[in-house]
Amino acid sequence: MTVNLVIGTQWGDEGKGKVVDYYSKDAYYVVRFQGGNNAGHTIKVDKEVYKLHTIPSGVIQGKIGVIGNGVVLDPEILIKEIDELKKRNINPKLLISDRTHIIMPYHKILDGAEEKYLKEKKIGTTKRGIGPCYSDKVSRNGIRTCDLINKESLRKKLDLIIPIKKRIFEAYNIDIKLDKKKILKTYAEFGGRIKKYTAQTHIELNRAIKQNKNILLEGAQGTMLDVDYGTYPYATSSHTISGGSCIGTGISPKKINEVIGVVKAYTTRVGEGPLPTELFDKYGKHLQEKGHEFGTTTSRPRRCGWLDLVVVNHSCIISGVTKIALTKLDVLDGLDKIKVCTKYDIDGKKIDYFPSDITDVKKCKPVYEELDVWEKIDESVSSFSHLPKQAQKYIKFIEKKVGVPIKLVSIGPGRNETIKL
């Protein structure tokens, strides 16, 4: 029995979908534990490309996907995703925690309104209602899956919540009417559709552990978007680090075996906020174009920069990463220069940790080490020794600087373009 965890170590989009698909082979349950449909996880199998936002990536391998209590769930999007997968001959097996909080229409409207209000100080959210939904959870105004499948309970909650939201709408000058009757009808119908999937998933997961079944936990976003350890306030509203997986599933930390940190061979970020190694030159353009760096969820271009090992170290320490999956190494093909940031210079002082204060982060100038370049990694390479010598050195350099072994190297989006070390 193993409980393994996959998390992003940067600003999301590290290739978690592909890595989860790879490790799903051996899993019985594949579990999302935080975030919502702000995530976009891509899995490429031969010519088929799947982009999942809510459903755990393991369903593509035919595994049971579990949506844990820590997730915020947009039932409309979930139902769409289920229907789309069915059209593609995948009938996803799912379990949804009855404690999962529901993203309501007013959450999505407020996400947009808050961003508009912030103007140039906006976070650059995905506008999926994630922040407002988590805010309601913490302030105890949330609606959970168990309310959605019980119309009376949903009615009572809406009676309480809708008048409050109306007042907030007024404060933001939002000219949209919240129709309680319509919301009740629509969301009770959603509840009817998803009822068959709901369960006390923490009981199911702990039973599976007792029965020696393997569980794979699928993180969304990345450490630098964590609400505590990311570039706050330019962060998401959940705990993306390993600790979040225990809260979001009801699995004890003592049960987790491997923590697999996904590291993209360079750095990207969507949305606002500091990105110390960001490039605005031909190298940034190369990474953006060759890496097809456009958001899976919002199609926004991702900002690109050199690999930042201060960030990766920060992540590996906080989450206790035991092995690294290095992705998108092929994107560095053909460059005439490769740099990796190993420290920051802040007002002339060298530091190797990530500052807490955003004003300090903005002052950080990356200190780089330059590494050897290579021409091209052949798609068919299946072992470390057949990689270009310089690419091997790049891998060894990261391992040495971070002190965590790299056990998987991804050299293309496809399922087979993966090297096990």
Name the residues that contact ligand IMO, by CB under 6 A.
8, 11-13, 38-41, 123-126, 128, 130-131, 220-221, 225, 236-237, 270-271, 296
Inter-axis angle of helices 130-138 and 105-118, nearest 10 = 110
Q: Which residues in 134-236 belong to E strands, given as ranges?
A: 198-199, 215-218
Which residue of the chain is nearest ligand IMO when measured via CB?
271
In the complex with ligand IMO, the residue whose CB is nearer, 40 or 70, is 40
- Catalytic, 98? Answer no
Q: How many residues bind ligand GDP (CB under 6 A)?
A: 21
- In whole angstroms, the minimum distance from the beta carbon of 293 to ligand GDP comes to 8
Please identify which residue in 150, 200, 296, 382 interacts with Mg ion, judged by CB under 5 A.
296
Is the N-terminal amide bond of 233 cis, ω within 30° of 0?
yes
Q: Does 17 bind ligand GDP (CB under 6 A)?
A: yes
Burial of 83 (0-12, 13-18, 19+ CB in 10 A): exposed
Contact between 411 and ligand GDP per CB under 6 A: yes
Residue 302 within binding range of ligand GDP, rule CB under 6 A: no
DSSP for residue 229: T
Which residues, 6+ apart, have CB-to-CB distance to 312 below 8 Å? 9, 10, 261, 263, 398, 402
| Residue 116 or 300 having the CB closest to ligand GDP | 300
13 or 111, CB closer to Mg ion? 13
| Identified binder of ligand GDP from the candidate list 63, 381, 412, 415, rule CB under 6 A | 412
Among residues 13, 74, 98, 272, the one that binds ligand GDP under rule CB under 6 A: 13
Q: Does residue 13 interact with Mg ion by CB under 5 A?
A: yes
Closer of 340 and 381 to ligand GDP (Cβ): 381
Give the residue carrying structure tokens 């190694």.
277
Verify binding: residue 37, ligand GDP, rule CB under 6 A: no
Q: Considering the complex, what minimum distance in angstroms separates the CB of residue 270 from Mg ion?
A: 8
What is the rounded CA–CA span in Å between residue 318 and residue 223?
Answer: 9
d(C-alpha 205, C-alpha 200), whole Å: 9
- Give the active site residue among 41, 101, 239, 286: 41
- For the CA atoms of 165, 171, 173, 176, the dihedral, rounded to the nearest 10 degrees, stands at 10
The answer to whether the CB of 258 falls within 8 A of the CB of 319 is: no
Active site residue 41: yes
From 32, 41, 63, 157, residue interacting with ligand GDP (rule: CB under 6 A): 41
Binding mask 352-391 for ligand GDP (x = CB under 6 A): ----------------------------------------
Closest CA to 283 of 311, 303, 308, 312: 303
Q: Which stretch binds ligand GDP (CB under 6 A): 13-21, 129-137, 271-279, 307-315?
A: 13-21
DSSP string, 304-345: EE-EEHHHHHHHHHHHT--EEEEE-GGGGTT-S-EEEEEEEE
- Strands 338-346 vs 365-371: parallel, antiparallel or unpaired: antiparallel
User: Taking CB under 6 A as the rule, does residue 58 contact ligand GDP?
Assistant: no
Helix (H, G, I), strand (E, B) or coil at 74: coil
We find the least distance from the C-beta atom of residue 42 to ligand GDP, in angstroms, to be: 3
Q: Pick the closer one to ligand IMO by CB: 307 or 338.
A: 307
| φ, ψ (nearest 5 deg) of residue 369 | -115, 140
Q: Which of 15, 35, 40, 261 binds Mg ion (CB under 5 A)?
A: 40
Are residues 225 and 216 in contact, defined by beta-carbon separation less than 8 angstroms?
Answer: no
- Point out the residues that are catalytic: 13, 41
Binding residues for ligand GDP, rule: CB under 6 A, are 8, 12-18, 40-42, 44, 296, 327-328, 330-331, 410-413
